[in-house]
Structure 1
Amino acid sequence: MTSKTIAFIFARGGSKGIPGKNIALLGGLPLIAHSIRQARACQAIAQVVVSTDDEAIAEVARQQGAQVPFLRPAELASDKASEWLAWQHAVSHCLRDPSIGPFSVFISLPATAPLRQVQDIDACLKRYGQGDVDMVLTGTPAQRSPFFNMVQQRPDGQVELVMPGQYHRRQDAPPLYDLTTVAYVSSPEFIMAHQGIWQGRVALVSVPRERAIDIDEPLDLYLAECLYQRENHA
């Protein structure tokens, strides 16, 4: 089968932290528009598919040049629904749709990470293309370490290091990363045959913090707007 990459954007309508989050404005554009435009600017991506339960989100997606070949069922669009099941639903539908499938590479570009750049997408696809992993995630260098400054509270109320005594110098400790939502790359076969990311071989691509902010609450949106304006009006 000829290699074909489809970008998926999963954007449900029922956000609680920021009502209407996925079409909230960032830099004058609906949030989801940033991910769609980034995907369309990536030469390796053949088509962009949006999975949503919300017609308002669907309309914005169509206006931005994405396909919305289905509306996501309500049971896959609650805040308790499994993202993996939403992935399986979208992949299954698109494999059966002759205007989309078959395809060999799946990449999810969440609308909540609008500050990624096309080079980040390319880096994830390139890493996956090496062929030795089932999934590629993204992360940023961790600001805290369980070896030095992450603590847990004991039953007696005192705190202790999460992982004490293993390393005494930062130079000796292994590099750690905070996972981000910049991109997820896999194959439709792996997604359909498994129940989660960690059932396969996983690699990570490091992305700078300023391009990896994940918008979950109003403060995140405010910070993203500040970073966006700095980048685009410097």
Structure 2
Amino acid sequence: MNLAIIPARGGSKRIPGKNAKLFAGKPLIAYSIEAALGSGNFDKVIVSTDSQEVADIAISYGADVPFMRPESLSGDYVGTGPVTKHAIEYCIQHFFEPTYCCCIYATAPFLTANFLSEGFQALKADPQKCFAFSATSFAFPIQRALRLEGTGVMPMYPEFINKRSQDLTEAYHDAGQFYWGQTAAFLQNKPMFCGHSTPVVLPRHLVQDIDTKEDWQRAELMYKAYVMEQANV
């Protein structure tokens, strides 16, 4: 049996009420809930929140909110690891013991059911893997990054600054959409970004952090363009 956990606290410093705020006509969290339910991979989709407003929205879109997140797990500096582990332990105590779990960010409007399914299949395909997570490539070679120094600039990696892009190893980063894992791996606090994890590589145009107002505006423009493109396919 499989469990989806969507962490979605009510507080947000840079974008107040971010998880409940309307994004292209729907609450932001609704996109993650719909992708999880649409994938058909989960026996239960839980939203972990400390906000009654977020809880009401989550329930209206078909997710379960079986508990309100404790205050000790609702602060600005609490990571998703402890929140995910708390939800898993609650599920084991009250419902069932999942074989696989997936932490899905509430701020992932580009997430699709297909990518969630791809991550699940990648995890199941290799018993040696503990996790499968969304990733994407950097748009520019990170080896040729610059840093500001005084009124000028200096290369971060001088040995690579004159290299051709095609001669440099392509770099990837966490896409911040989903993290599939064996239940035991989550409960044992195993690290995510190492050899026992496999990436599900997403196209860059379907990845956008939403941490600032500028991020939000950019994401909405990208989303609307993507929807229009899909409508014309």
TM-score (norm 2): 0.89
**Sequence identity (%):** 28
Deviation at 1:207, TM superposition (A): 0.7
Deviation at 1:166, TM superposition (A): 9.6
8 Å Cα contact 1:167/1:173 also seen in 2: no
Letter of the 1:221 counterpart: W
Q: 2:117 aligns with which of 114, 122, 127?
A: 122
8 Å Cα contact 1:135/1:200 also seen in 2: no
Unaligned runs of 5+ in 2: none
Deviation at 1:162, TM superposition (A): 3.1
Corresponding residue for 1:87? Answer: 84
Question: For 1:46-80, what per-residue CA distance to the aligned partner results, in whole angstroms no more than 9, with x for missing partners?
Answer: 22110011111011111111011111111211111
Q: Take 1:108 and 1:22, find their aligned partners in 2: how far apart are those partners? A: 15
Letter of the 1:227 counterpart: M
Corresponding residue for 1:170? Answer: 165
1:1-234 alignment, distance < 5 Å: 4-98=1-95, 101-131=96-126, 132-148=128-144, 150-152=145-147, 159-162=154-157, 164-165=159-160, 168-194=163-189, 196-198=191-193, 201-233=196-228, 234=231
Q: Take 2:104 and 2:193, find their aligned partners in 1: how far apart are those partners? A: 19
Deviation at 1:95, TM superposition (A): 1.1
Q: In structure 2, do the counterparts of structure 1 residues 56 and 223 end up closer, same or farther at CA, with 3 Å as the change threshold?
A: same
Q: Take 2:162 and 2:180, find their aligned partners in 1: how far apart are those partners? A: 33
Q: In structure 2, do the counterparts of structure 1 residues 190 and 218 end up closer, same or farther at CA, with 3 Å as the change threshold?
A: same
Deviation at 1:116, TM superposition (A): 1.5
More helix by share: 2
Q: How many residues align?
A: 228
Q: Take 1:163 and 1:14, find their aligned partners in 2: how far apart are those partners? A: 42
Q: Secondary structure at the match of 2:30?
A: helix
TM-score (norm 1): 0.88
Question: For 1:137-194, what per-residue CA distance to the aligned partner results, in whole angstroms no more than 9, with x for missing partners?
Answer: 212111232322x134579x86233372499333232221122111111122111112
Q: In structure 2, do the counterparts of structure 1 residues 230 and 143 end up closer, same or farther at CA, with 3 Å as the change threshold?
A: closer
Deviation at 1:89, TM superposition (A): 0.8
RMSD (CA atoms): 2.2
